[in-house]
Structure 1
Amino acid sequence: MSERAYPIRPVPSDDRRFTFGLAIEVAAVLERHGYPPVKSGEDLLELQQALFRFLYVEGGTP
């Protein structure tokens, strides 16, 4: 089995790729796959936090 690529180490102090737009695009992909659309700001914030944990935090928790 190959070495994991995520979480990214070390955590970039200011990763310009991690934007509000990224979360919106991921929400759109989820919707295209049959998940309910993200309609509230709270849901979008939770999605953005989940993406952050996946991308940068070992074990998925801060």
Structure 2
Amino acid sequence: MQNLNELEVENLRHLIGGHATVINKLQEYAQACTDPQLKQMLQKDVQDAQNTKQRLMSFLG
């Protein structure tokens, strides 16, 4: 993998931070949700966002 320049690293960190925010919000929504089907969908979205965040973080390492 090529070395990332400063702008690319900054953009990755911004995307990772955005995913962290989305994960937190989706977790809160899922906890507050009373509809089982919607709750399951939100939990899947949390997992998807966590996976994407991890993939983005792998570019920094």
TM-score (norm 2): 0.33
TM-score (norm 1): 0.32
Structure number having the greater helix percentage: 2
* Bigger-Rg structure (1/2): 2
